[in-house]
Structure 1
Amino acid sequence: MAVETAVAEGLSPVMAFALVGGIGVGAQWLAWRLRMPAIVLMLGAGLVIGPLLGLFDPGRDIGPLMQPMISIAVAIILFEGGLTLNFHHLRSAAEGVRRLVVVGAPLGWLLSTLALRYVAGLSWEASLVFGGIMIVTGPTVIAPLLRQARLPRRPAQLLHWEAIVNDPIGALAAVLAFEMILVMRATETMGDAVLDLVLGISLATALGIAGGWGVVRAFRRELVPQYMKVPLLFAMVLGVFALSDGMLHESGLLAVTVMGLWIANAELPSYDELRRFKEHATILLVSGVFVVLAASLKPETLMALDWRTGAFVVVVILVVRPATVLVSFLGTKLPMNERLLVGFTGPRGVVLVAVAGLFAQRLYADGVEDAARLTPIAFALVAATVILHGFTMSPMARALGLSAAQVPGVLIAGGSRFAASFGLALKRLEVPVLVADSNRTRLRSVREAGLPIFVGNILSEAAEHGVEFISYGRIVALSDNDALNTLITTDLAPEFGHENVYQLKPAKQEQRRHAMPVTLGGRSYCDGLSYLEIGRRMGEGWEVQVLEWGLDDGPDLESWRAANPDAVVLAEVKPGRDIRLIAEEMEPNGTAGWHLVYFAPMAEEASDAASEEASEAPAEPTPADAVKPSSD
């Protein structure tokens, strides 16, 4: 009885916000631990606490705050989408990405609108708005799916960049369609509708440009201290959204999207910090909006999903998406198996649900009655595509002959004999390896070992487009420059995860005030050895070696440790399956069937053979006479 009474009375607004935040972020964390798309867990959690158990009803527990909260959250999400779209990146993108944007986006909008109208049975107004947002393929969903599927470089980059670029374009298309429908329903003649639409778009665009210009000018002239930049940006987004919406109803979403586009293309020196803001804000807001929208679904609404919804999802997956991709790639040299893989891969994400949920409420309030079906249809499409592609992407890639290595690769920053020896050991154990250095001379040993290389700064724009980051799950900074190692691991930690970035321990400074801050950098690697100490030991005959633990016999870990007390364990590898890098103060598991990669003196007979080979090869430059990393 007490539980039923509590459910009937509902939660207080404070408890409701705490519940949404805890469930949203908790679902994201749990999905990270389970290595699965967070959207599935958020959808399930929202349905359980909402229509299934009735513990949380946003309309009842949040009340009048729900609508403005979702509006502001969607505005920030669209602003984040605008911050993602750099036109320079689009111009320099491969031809396939440009075609997916220039040809695929309008064609996808058209085909999605037709499918909504004639298959799902929606009105033209609802179909046009939802068809625009369906351009988005879910950048927050596609990245983990690509890492799991281990696709080759070209199809992985096509899917990855399409999701990034089309994210703001799809939102902008939906905003424009939404504005057009509202104006046409509010005016009596087509001439008045066109005039109001042009005025609305012009006003929103002008306010967005003005807001972006003001932020860029203030940041460039250092009129804002560093610690105030993110709060100021947040306040400007809210201000531009409110001002535009106040002057012309529903124009604020377009204004903040334009503002994000302007800032993204201004080449601000503090753009990395703005990127951190949008990443953190998106995780919080997207998860919160998704949980709220899922919990707000009524049982009768879910029961109203009929065969037309199922048929619409099937048509989108099997007809609309493949037709859009295949037409976009007409006349290109892209192999057919890669076209088919991209064509049958189009997972939708939380941005689609968030924007569709907001516009559904607005359209329904404006008299478009079937707009109430948009939110459940959006949930059905997202759930179907994420689950389907999550389970079928890898088998489809293998069936089409496009399956890459199953082990997440290791990206080594810094070329040296040690990097070559380490990379070669990993390559023999079927672990993809790439060694990067801005100095080609330092990569000589790596090239001679037959390992793939990247000549340039791993943090440069050239690396962003030339390195298949999606194929690598861990990065190890092994250069002779402690500051560069710290910079690389700090900058790439948000993308790889701090637990997956490693670096050589910086050399001890004579004075503590000259030492690197402990909050920067990655995990200490190679048992705390410095670059110079590693070089000295290699000169004494140390090498990276591999030991396989037998299934039934062979030495146990304690016996091996006793026989090799000075050995530095670098990694445990299960060939073709998994890899575990061993940071400082970590111990290997010594599990049967795994291989141990370690750094230790070579056996006497092996050392003699290696010395003979080394005497015939030219000497490698030492850190003192090697050229320092270039600035590119």
Structure 2
Amino acid sequence: MDSLLLILMLIAVLGVGSQWVAWKFQLPAIVVMSIAGLLAGPIFGLMNPEEAFGDLYRPFISIAVAIILFEGSLNLNFKEVRGLGKPVFRIVTWGAFLAWILGSLTAHYIAGLSLAVSFVIGGIFIVTGPTVILPLLRQSKLKPTPAKILKWEGIIVDPFGALLALFAFEIILFLSADGRDATALLYFFLASLFAVVLGIVFGKVTGWMFESGHLPEFLKSPAVFVAVTTCFIIADEVKHETGLLAVTAMGMTLANLGISSIKDMRHFKENISILLVSTVFILLTASLTRDTLIDVFRPEIIGYVLLMLFIVRPLSIFLSTVKSGLSLREKTLVGWIAPRGIVALTVASYFATILADEGFEGASLVTPLTFALVFSTVVVHGFSIGWFAKKLDLSSEGSPGVLIVGSNRFTNSIAKVMKELDIPAVVVDSSWDRLNRARKEGIQHNHCEILSEQTEYTMDFTPYDYLLAATEYDSYNALVCSTFLPEFGRKHVFRLPKQGDSGDHIVDIDHTIGGKEVFVPAEGLEELKYKLKSGYVLRKTTLTDKYSFADYKNDRDDETILLFILKQSKQIEFFAEDMEATSSAGDTIVSMTPPSKEFNKIQEKLEEKRNGKS
């Protein structure tokens, strides 16, 4: 393929298409992207981006790495890190250090790399990035302790692996090069200090412009993109490789300023960064040669991967968590799960070229070694985490859960029915008074403001796939749904119908705002609460081969309000606007039934019992 435009189109289509396929079929995205890139590049020879881009290839990869590292550092708020507990602290400090030393020695003695190259890539391979680990956690539904450890390890260590590799590279370069004096090393540390200061300044200026209103909303994402690339390039021009340090400092500064606009920068992360991750991964895998793929199967590389999987990772976790309070089962699971992702591959590719330019022995093996480790860990850990967690009894099995916002008579009733059906459900409210009834009835509850940034770190969202906003305020329900749309998905976010004569008197809400309305024709929370007070009951009806959904609809009272269907597959379908409900034998329908019908059924049963006795 000769046309650069066609190559750009193919890279974008394969990158975003791979993300969609991974989402649709619940597969690790990095595996799908790897296969797509390999098919388009070395296997079928449709393109070779490195040759096509020429001199632009390396600068593009460098900027992409900078933005990906900025994204990772944007999650590092020191206030949240402080309260993570002893196991997480141990793993991200001593555990990371042990993983670096053990991984570097393994690369040297098993894979045959020089010590210099080994200690550089050893730093990179401590990274278990959030772009890989977070989707796996959602998919496997781990219990809170292991989920929290794996999540925060990925977030905290993500930006530091590249920095560890950077410092190792410069120190080893100084120690191994002839004719270098301490001036070169001093210059590097001064340049690093300049990069940190530059990143802090860019972070503070960007935060100030966001908070003071000097940037309109439509310019915020482009402004962050320009600021990150400018910060990276200035630092990199002063001293190569220090640009990574500058953007990390910039992201951490923004994360700790406490500004309300941090959400806007996370939108930047969700949009620009995901696109970059997709395209860069296709670029890197499509640029691999067939010789590199053959090198992946060399005995020393296979041996290195096996030792990293079965010795280095478990040993670093077990040693760093001695007397930390973790159980043996939790240590075993955390010691097994360590998928390397896009950060490891992109940063390793970045350093592979630099190490080769400096003439280090074994630099040519960095790319196949990295690809082998990344692909192996993602496949092995991605497909084993759920099974292994169940074997260790560390998986929250059962139906997908429901997060219910707002505690009242109706939400408590629906949460109680879900509990009876073994559906994980939690009622969230910022008022202890409103939560009092839920507490008395034994309903799982959480006292927090769902829109608070702190809630993201104090509450585990892993068990919950659906969100139902059911407070008395229509505008608040819509706001909650809009806020959580990116996390739960548009099809899994619901709100009560707008109220007629109560609430905040919203006549109309744009169809693009908030989630779908449920439980129509009921007119909001007040009507639902009134119906319960007047004798309506929540009823469960299980369909059979002889009693179909059509039969149920014919038999039900006209005033019955359909709530949701629990499928045999454990999936939940809420009765929402424009929903075409389908149900089959084994499914359970939950509804609010008028008291008259329920009373008649009770009377019929009592009559049957009397007749039986007589």
Question: When the two structures are superposed, what TM-score results if normalisation uses the length of structure 1?
Answer: 0.90
Shift of 1:438: 1.0
Is this contact kept in 2: 1:184–1:193, CA < 8 A?
no
Residue from 241, 244, 268 that aligns with 2:232: 241
Separation in 2, partners of 1:582, 1:346: 40
Q: Tell me the CA shift for residue 489 of structure 1.
A: 1.3
Q: Does 2:534 match 1:540?
A: yes
Q: Contact (CA 8 Å) 1:286, 1:354: kept in 2 or not?
A: no
Instruction: Work out the CA distance in 1 between the residues paired with 2:600 and 2:262.
Output: 50
**Partner residue, 1:617:** none
CA distance in 1, matches of 2:559, 2:351: 64
Residue 286 (1) aligns with residue 277 (2): yes
Matched, 1:174 2:168: no
Confirm or deny that 1:313 pairs with 2:343.
no
Deviates more, 1:183-192 or 1:379-388: 183-192
SS in 2 for 1:592: coil
In structure 1, which of residues 329, 350, 365 is the aligned counterpart of residue 357 of structure 2? 365
Query: Are the aligned partners of 1:446 and 1:453 in contact in 2 as well (CA < 8 Å)?
Result: yes
Distance 1:576 1:338 in 2: 28
Is 1:593 the counterpart of 2:586? The answer is: yes
Deviates more, 1:98-107 or 1:577-586: 577-586
SS in 2 for 1:470: coil
Correspondence for 1:151? 142
CA distance in 2 between partners of 1:480 and 1:193 (Å): 66
Alpha-carbon distance change, 532 to 433 in structure 1, aligned in 2, over 3 angstroms: same
Deviation, structure 1 residue 416: 1.2
Q: For 1:68-467, what aligned pairs fall within 5 Å after superposition?
A: 68-182=59-173, 188-189=179-180, 191-305=182-296, 306-467=298-459
CA contact (8 A) 1:504 1:528 kept: no
- Decide whether the 8 Å contact of 1:405 with 1:576 is kept in 2: no
SS state of the match for residue 103, structure 1? helix
Q: What is the CA–CA distance in structure 2 between the aligned matches of 1:507 and 1:351, rounded to whole Å?
A: 48
Change (3 A) 1:124 1:479: same
- Among candidates 547, 551, 554, match of residue 562 of structure 1: 554
SS of equivalent to 2:520: helix
The superposition leaves residues 268-313 of structure 1 with CA deviations (integer Å, 9 ceiling, x where unpaired) of 1111011110121221111111111101110011112301111111
Which stretch of structure 1 is more off in the superposition, 346-355 or 560-569?
560-569
2:6 — aligned with what? 15
Distance 1:572 1:132 in 2: 50
Letter in 1 for 2:540: V
Bigger mean CA deviation after superposition, 468-477 or 229-238: 229-238
Question: For 2:401 and 2:136, how far apart are their aligned partners in 1?
Answer: 16
Structure 1 residues 510-563: Cα deviation after superposition (integer angstroms, max 9, x where no partner): 99997434332112122263112212222332222211112x32x222221122
1:483 paired residue number? 475
Q: What is the root-mean-square deviation in Å for CA atoms of aligned residues? A: 2.3
State the 1:600 CA deviation. Answer: 2.5
**Residues 129-177 of structure 1: per-residue CA shift (max 9 Å, x gap):** 2111111113122222222222111111111111111111222222332
Contact 1:302 1:376 in 2 (8 A): yes
The amino acid that maps onto 1:258 is: A
- Give the superposition deviation at 1:330: 0.8
Q: Distance in 1 between matches of 2:329 and 2:280?
A: 37
Cα distance, 1:190 vs. partner? 5.1
**Aligned-residue offset at 1:376:** 1.9
User: Partner letter of residue 388 of structure 1?
Assistant: V
**Is residue 28 of structure 1 aligned with residue 19 of structure 2?**
yes
Instruction: Tell whether 2:509 aligns with 1:516.
Output: yes
Asked whether the equivalents of residues 170 and 185 of structure 2 are also in contact (C-alpha less than 8 Å), the reply is no
Report the equivalent of 2:488. 496
1:448-479 deviation line (CA, Å, top 9, x unaligned): 33211001212224432332101111111111
1:196-248 Cα shifts (integer Å, max 9, x gaps) = 22122112112212211221232333322333222221111111111111222
Q: Give the Cα separation in 1 of the matches to 2:568 and 2:335.
A: 32
Q: What is the CA distance between 1:42 and its match in structure 2? A: 0.2
- Answer yes or no: is the 8 Å Cα contact 2:389–2:395 preserved in 1: yes
Shift in Å at residue 186 of structure 1? 6.1
- Offset from partner CA, 1:112-135 (integer Å, 9 cap, x none): 111111111111222122111111
| Alignment correspondent of 2:577 | 584
Tell me which residue corresponds to 1:5. Answer: none
Change (3 A) 1:560 1:105: same
Identity of aligned residues (%): 38
CA contact (8 A) 1:431 1:576 kept: no
CA, structure 1 residues 518+175, in 2 after alignment: closer, same or farther (shift >3 Å)? farther
Asked whether the 8 Å contact 1:569–1:588 carries over to 2, the reply is: no
For 1:451 and 1:368, locate their aligned partners in 2 and report how far apart those are by CA, in whole Å. Answer: 62
Instruction: Rate the CA distance shift 1:180–1:13 in 2: closer, same or farther, 3 A.
Output: farther
Whole-angstrom distance in 2 between the partners of 1:182 and 1:489: 53
Mapped to 2, the partners of 1:509 and 1:34 lie a distance apart of: 44
Give how far 1:602 is off.
4.2
Instruction: Tell me how far 1:44 sits from its aligned partner.
Output: 0.3
Distance 1:590 1:575 in 2: 10
- Partners in 1 of 2:521 and 2:182 — Cα distance? 73
Contact 1:126 1:370 in 2 (8 A): yes
Aligned residue pairs total 599
- Partner of 2:275, secondary structure, is helix
Contact 2:410 2:525 in 1 (8 A): no
- Which range moves more in the overlay, 93-102 or 52-61? 93-102
When structure 1 is superposed on structure 2, of 43-52 and 401-410 the one drifting more is 401-410
With over 3 angstroms needed to count, the CA separation of the structure-2 counterparts of 1:372 and 1:187, relative to structure 1, is same
Q: Which moved more, 1:333-342 or 1:445-454?
A: 445-454
User: Aligned-pair distance for 1:607?
Assistant: 8.6
Residue 264 of structure 1 deviates from its aligned partner by 1.1
- The alpha carbon displacement at 1:575 in A equals 6.0
Measured in 1, the distance between the counterparts of 2:20 and 2:575 equals 23
Residue equivalent to 2:606? none
Change (3 A) 1:607 1:430: farther
Report the alpha carbon displacement of residue 322 of structure 1 after superposing the two structures with TM: 0.7
The normalised TM-score by structure 2 is 0.93
Which residue identity lines up with residue 536 of structure 1 in the other structure?
A: Y
Question: 2: distance between equivalents of 1:488 and 1:14?
Answer: 42
Do the aligned residues in 1 keep the contact of 2:567 with 2:583 (CA within 8 Å)? no
Separation in structure 2 between the aligned mates of residue 332 and residue 100 of structure 1, nearest angstrom:
10
Q: CA deviation at 1:411?
A: 0.7
Q: Deviations over 1:391-434 (max 9, x none)?
A: 22222222222232232211111111111111111111111111
Q: Are the structure 2 counterparts of residues 406 and 356 from structure 1 closer, same or farther at C-alpha, using a change threshold of 3 Å? A: farther
